[in-house]
Amino acid sequence: MGYPEDALAPDEELILHTHPHWKMLFWPIVTLIVVTAVAGFLGGLVWRTADESMRSILLLVVLVVWLLILAWRSIAPIVTWKSTHFIVTDRRVLVREGVMTHTGLDIPMSRISSVQFRHGLVDRMFGTGELIIGSSSEEPLEYSDIPDVEQVHALLYHQVFEAAPRYGGF
């Protein structure tokens, strides 16, 4: 069994498992490309212009700075994206985040009082948006960069309001 199945109860059915939309990786990937190009240019410049005694030290400095920027602005966001899970089952909504420190939130379907979504022009172009889940006792929970947010909204609405048992003939 894979990750989300391990978090489920024995008779719980997995309906949706997704990571945030890849849109959140746009700037980290742009940073990767730009920083690599700049490091390559600086490495070539150092190789051609520095004397032999300073060349190794300067190339090492360029390499270390490149690795630090890469780890901070590219690798960390990619790992964060990969370790963030949005899961919908027939009983609850689960959100799991983190690599070193794990955080999790479970919202039982019976506690959800409203489901909304919001997406602007750019989000609509990318097919993503923000999902807002209102629970009966807390402030609404907002989840950004949910892929296919309209379908997730409809799915969650159906799970909460249409599939729920009706009482008293209503």
24-65 confidence digits (pLDDT tens): 999 999 999 999 999 999 999 999 998 988 999 999 999 999
| β-strands 14-18, 141-147 pairing | unpaired
Task: Specify the pLDDT at position 170.
Answer: 42
Task: Specify the pLDDT at position 168.
Answer: 46
Would the CA dihedral through 55, 56, 61, 66 be positive or negative?
Answer: positive
CATH architecture designation of domain 3-20+84-162: Roll (2.30)
pLDDT at 163 over 90: no
82-129 confidence digits (pLDDT tens): 999 999 999 999 999 988 888 999 999 989 999 999 999 999 999 999
Task: Specify the pLDDT at position 2.
Answer: 58
Pair 81, 19: CB distance under 8 Å: yes
146 forms beta bridges with: 129
Task: Specify the pLDDT at position 165.
Answer: 56
Report domain extents, the chain: 3-20+84-162, 25-80
For 69-75, which contacts have Cβ atoms below 8 Å and span 24 or more sequence positions? 69/31, 69/35, 70/31, 70/32, 70/35, 70/36, 73/27, 73/28, 73/31, 73/32, 73/35, 74/28, 74/29, 74/31, 74/32, 74/35
pTM for this prediction: 0.82
2-13 confidence digits (pLDDT tens): 577 777 888 999
Which of 50-54, 91-95, 136-140, 164-168 bottoms out in mean pLDDT, i.e. has the lowest? 164-168
